[in-house]
């Protein structure tokens, strides 16, 4: 063999061995890297208001496709169906009566260990976009880094629903900025850029993308999408009374328009994950903080906080690496908000803090079974604002039943399989006495486990030293705009 041939052979052999080593390094790096997490949190999106969930009106093609790729928790509920309580429970894995975060516009204390802090401690980069509603220092006040609960990258604001001129703060810049277009589109574009910038990072990333739609105002939805829903074409559920139909049709037109536009924005994020080749090493969740009544049971649009499914039930789709044959499967066992944090930690093999109260459902997510059942707890601790005349309640939901109790006693029992629109209250019916007793026993056991005394609204307001504005019957957030705001928090002096 001449020298030239030998040199060529050795060179080829070296390149082959080097390539194998590089491939081994890549495989090792991939094996050692925890999955990224993209949590998409929408606002006021009912669990039934999606094409894949059977809504005859709404067009959500991207989420319908994503449902085919995910595990679908059909009975996911908001632990307390209103913004701040849900978000606090999501971040801490604790119930509102434990943290004291049971009404809007409170400040989540820095002492609480949160989702972003846990993932950051496990080596994750953390990023937040959109509506926060956990700072309690007014709705347009700058939120400094030490009050961002572990999020490093920040494009957020406490609370705004001005979708076509949505304000936000850019990381550590204290100047109030505005997204340049309809906020779901603008926010997801920035999130897509973040994914691109971090696609090749050795650190995994945790993203919480908090999109404020389809929460009202509904008339601000882009015209293009509103035209997709002529009011007289909308099919209304049977639990909406005739007297409310005109208003419900008007609001639903904008509600569905926001939903379809937001579906498009979410679709862009899902496509970005695929284009960046990140989807197979990323946990993706789509959910909402609560639903809304939209005229059901005679309750006017916009109202939530109640234990009917329209307010209580939320979408929850989760896709994870190696989902394989489980893609498109359904779990009918309920999931409540505090279960989400420990379940994500379970899926990523990160230790769950001992004081987390939710249940780790990672095994159920990886082995979905539609026949499994469990009981999930929800609560209305101190109804406020539009709900101030409603009693406090605790509720238990199984895959078949919803049982609701106020401090005065049992108030509602529904068989959701036979009566999906919850129009027949079975409480105190003789033939359901055994079912009611079992659900009541389960409710009492769960309240005992978290040390919830189940008092009325005044009991909890006094316990946590909260004061409602006399006229609006809620925590005063608007006085911060006049420099007169007072922070209310479970930890005094925050």
Nearest Cα residue to 44 out of 87, 13, 12, 4: 87
Which 3 state secondary structure label does DSSP give 58? Answer: coil
What secondary structure letter does DSSP report for 392? P
Nearest Cα residue to 297 out of 314, 305, 309, 289: 309
Residue with tokens 């990224």, as numbered in its chain? 36
How far is residue 269's CA from residue 222's CA, in Å, rounded to a whole number? 20
Six-digit token string for 329: 């499967």
β-pair type (76-77, 125-131): unpaired
With vertex at residue 183, the alpha carbon angle to CA 88 and CA 114, rounded to the nearest 5 degrees, is 20
Q: Is 477 exposed, middle or buried (0-12, 13-18, 19+ CB in 10 A)?
A: buried
Nearest Cα residue to 425 out of 454, 405, 451: 405
Six-digit token string for 244: 């409310």
Distances in Å between the alpha carbon of 413 and those of 111, 296, 455, 485? 38, 17, 21, 41
How far is residue 252's CA from residue 293's CA, in Å, rounded to a whole number? 11
Strand residues in 188-345 grouped as ranges (E):
205-214, 282-288, 316-319, 330-331, 335-336
Kindly provide the b/e burial profile for residues 398-433, where b requires at least 16 CB atoms within 10 angstroms of the residue's own CB.
bbebbbbbbeeebbbbbebeeeebbeeebeeeeebe
With vertex at residue 308, the alpha carbon angle to CA 408 and CA 225, rounded to the nearest 5 degrees, is 150
How far is residue 263's CA from residue 224's CA, in Å, rounded to a whole number? 14
Residue with tokens 């994914």, as numbered in its chain? 195
What secondary structure letter does DSSP report for 324? G
Residues 6+ apart with CB under 8 A from 111: 491
Whether 133 is a known active-site residue: answer yes
3-state secondary structure 411-469: EEEEECCCCCCCCCCCCCCHHHHHHHHHHHHHHHHHHHHCCCCCCCHHHHHHHCCCCCC
Whether 258 is a known active-site residue: answer no
Other C-beta atoms closer than 10 Å to the C-beta of 164 total 12
Q: Which of 133, 215, 258, 412 is catalytic?
A: 133
Q: Where in the sequence numbering do the catalytic residues fall?
A: 83, 133
């Amino acid at each position: 063999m001449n020298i030239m041939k030998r040199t060529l052979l050795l060179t080829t052999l070296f390149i082959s061995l080097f390539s194998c080593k590089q491939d081994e390094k890549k495989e090792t790096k991939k094996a050692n890297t925890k999955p990224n997490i993209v949590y998409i949190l929408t606002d006021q999106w009912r669990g039934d208001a999606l094409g894949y969930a059977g809504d005859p009106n709404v067009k959500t093609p991207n989420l319908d496709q994503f449902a085919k790729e995910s595990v679908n928790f059909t009975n996911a509920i908001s632990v307390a169906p209103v913004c701040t309580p849900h978000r606090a429970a999501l971040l801490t894995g604790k119930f509102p009566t434990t943290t004291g975060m049971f009404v809007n516009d409170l400040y989540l204390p820095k002492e609480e260990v949160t989702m972003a802090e846990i993932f950051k401690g496990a080596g994750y980069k953390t990023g937040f976009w959109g509506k926060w509603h956990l700072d309690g220092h007014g709705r347009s006040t700058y939120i400094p880094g030490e009050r961002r609960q572990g999020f490093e990258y920040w494009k957020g604001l406490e609370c705004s629903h001005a979708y076509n001129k949505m304000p936000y703060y850019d990381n550590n810049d204290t100047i109030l900025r505005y997204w340049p277009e309809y906020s779901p589109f603008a926010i997801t574009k920035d999130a897509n850029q973040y994914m691109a910038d971090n696609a090749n990072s050795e650190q995994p990333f945790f993203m919480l993308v908090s999109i404020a739609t389809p929460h009202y105002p509904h008339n601000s939805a882009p015209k293009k999408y509103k035209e997709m829903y002529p009011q007289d074409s909308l099919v209304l559920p049977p639990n909406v009374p005739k007297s409310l139909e005109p208003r419900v049709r008007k609001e639903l037109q904008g509600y569905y328009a926001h939903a379809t536009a937001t579906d498009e924005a979410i679709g862009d994020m899902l496509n970005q994950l695929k284009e960046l080749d990140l989807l197979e090493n990323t946990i993706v969740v789509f959910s909402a903080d609560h639903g809304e009544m939209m005229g059901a049971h005679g309750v006017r649009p916009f109202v939530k906080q109640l234990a009917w499914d329209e307010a209580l039930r939320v979408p929850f789709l989760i896709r994870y690496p190696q989902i394989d044959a489980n893609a498109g499967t359904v779990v009918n066992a309920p999931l409540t908000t505090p279960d989400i944090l420990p379940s994500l930690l379970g899926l990523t093999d990160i230790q769950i803090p001992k004081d987390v109260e939710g249940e780790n459902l990672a095994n159920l997510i990886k082995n979905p079974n539609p026949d499994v059942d469990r009981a999930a707890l929800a609560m209305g601790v101190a109804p406020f604002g539009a709900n101030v005349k409603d009693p406090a309640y605790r509720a238990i939901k199984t895959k078949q039943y919803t049982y609701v109790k106020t401090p005065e006693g049992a108030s509602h029992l529904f068989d959701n399989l036979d009566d999906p629109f919850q129009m027949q209250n079975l409480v105190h019916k003789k033939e359901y006495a055994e079912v009611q007793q079992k659900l009541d026993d389960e409710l009492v056991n769960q309240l005992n486990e978290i040390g919830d005394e189940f008092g009325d609204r005044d009991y909890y307001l006094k316990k946590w030293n909260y004061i409602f504005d006399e006229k609006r019957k809620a925590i005063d957030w608007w006085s911060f705009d006049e420099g007169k705001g007072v922070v209310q928090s479970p930890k005094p002096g925050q």
